[in-house]
Structures are given as C-alpha cells and as structure tokens.
Structure 1
Amino acid sequence: MINHFPAFAPTAEREPFWFLGGQARILLPGSATGNAMSLMEFSDPVGHAPPRHVHENEEELWFVLDGEVSFFVGDERHDLTPGQVAHGPRGVPHSYLVRSGDGARIAVVFSPALIEEWFKANGTPVAETGDLPPAFDLAAVVGSAEAFRLRVTGPPPSL
C-alpha cells in the first residue's frame, strides 16, 4: 500500500553517508511512495562534480537549497542559486558542479524511485560531524551502476 501524506523516512534512512566525496541523505525513500519517487539531499564541497552520466529509468529534479551550482543537461548549462530548480530528463546526459566556496546543498527528487538504493549501497556512513570523506573507488561505483541502468558518459565538469 502506498503511504499518502505525510510520508516519512525512518530515522536510520535519514542518517548522512559519504558518496563520491560529498555527503548524502535519503529524506524520503521510494518505499514510502510505492516507488513513485524518492527524495535525497546532497551536501557537496566547492569543485564537487559527478562524472557526466545518464539515468535510463529516472527523471531527476534538482532544487538548490544553499550555494551556487551549475547543472549541465545535454548541451545546456544552467547556473542556479538557492530556490532555483533544474530538470534532468531520463535518457539525457547530465552532471553538476558546485561553484560556491562554502559548498552547496541540493535536494533531488528521483522519479520513479529505487536509485537511492544504489547511492546508499555505494556510500560510507558518516562517523561524526567534521569527519573527512573517505577514499572511494570510482570504478567500483560506476560498475555497480549498470544494475540501476545508470551509465557514465564522460568526465565531470570542472571549475
């Protein structure tokens, strides 16, 4: 049965974890929406950018909470500040780049859900506030993405 509002993530789900050098949290897992959508939060440092990639299953909606972030969708670049939104359609290569010196926080809706399971499976729990991100094996993270129909199409953008 689908939970209708309010839907909540269990406390353990909302705990932050390291992912590709930034922190992520699952705010609303797909299990709370019948896998219609999920909501995550990413807190990334200046210069952070995932490799350019394509989601074959999910639409992605980015909402900038704090900081300045450039979103690259197809051949377009969108420079966003807090309160602005960008859309990453399924099947279209995209990435983002954190430009602000204090880093950025982004809320991301994925529809349909389940990709949040890939993020969590490739993350490392944050032991305590102020912790430095652990080293990660990008090849292993990319290799595990195939099961979620996510593929890398190019290098990350840079400052």
Structure 2
Amino acid sequence: MIVSDSFVIADWTDPGSHPGLPIAGLHLHRSDDEAWFVLEGALGFRVGDEERQVGAGESILVPRGTAHSYWNAHGEPARYLLVMTPRIHRLVEALHAGDRSDWERIFEEHDSELLT
C-alpha cells in the first residue's frame, strides 16, 4: 500500500469465490473521486446507470457524487489497484473494523452515502 497526504493506492485481490456478488454495494462519495486499475482477471462495475466490465490492463474512474458498486466478473481471482483519497481509505478501514449495523453512520461520517 502506498499512502500520501493526497492519495492512497491499495493492491487488492478478490478470490473470485462469489462472482457477480458485490465486493462493495451501491454507494457514493460526495467529495472524493475513486479509481481502479485491473491487473489480473476482471471486475464488473455499475457507475451511475451504466454497467461495464473492466479487464486486465484497463481502468475506470468514478467521479465524486456518482453512485457505484463493483464485483468480480468471473469465478477467478481479480487483482486490482484501488486509488482513493485518504478519506475513502479511512472509510474502508472503519467498515472493515465495524459492525454492518453501523455502516450507514460510518458512511455519513466519511462524507459518503450507502445506497443499498
């Protein structure tokens, strides 16, 4: 993981054991953009009203204020870089550490909104 004052880059892998199920449910970040660069496998994305698949060597940018979710597109591992702001990184850490019943509050505390 690379962490700076203005961005964080995380290298993550989804094992592909639940293709089509959300890695992250539908949500938005009011003040922060977010980007993915797929290194291996493929991810599916819903960005606004559109869906698309992003494969190895491709990237996608989700502008602030845009509803989005993503999932493993196939039943095989998908490795990707997630480029996010420090605020989104803090949100992800809080979600992983917290109870799902607190997620709505956690999203709000990080200027984001959980939509599903």
Q: TM over 0.5: same fold? A: yes
- In structure 1, the partner of 2:100 is 138
Q: Which has the higher contact order (CA 8 A, sep 6+)?
A: 2
> What SS class does the counterpart of residue 51 from structure 1 fall into?
strand
Mapping of 1:1-159 within 5 angstroms?
27-29=1-3, 32=4, 34=5, 36-46=6-16, 47=19, 48-49=21-22, 50-110=24-84, 112-123=85-96, 137-154=99-116
Structure 2, unaligned stretches of length 5 or more?
none
Cα contact 1:38–1:114 (8 A) shared by 2: no
Structure (1 or 2) with the larger CA radius of gyration: 1
* Distance apart, 1:45 and its partner CA: 3.4
The structure that is strand-richer by fraction is 2
Kindly report structure 1 stretches of 4+ aligned residues shifted beyond 6 Å.
none
Percent sequence identity over aligned pairs: 27
Cα-Cα RMSD: 1.9
User: How many residues are treated as equivalent by the alignment?
Assistant: 112
Return the TM-score normalized by structure 2.
Answer: 0.83
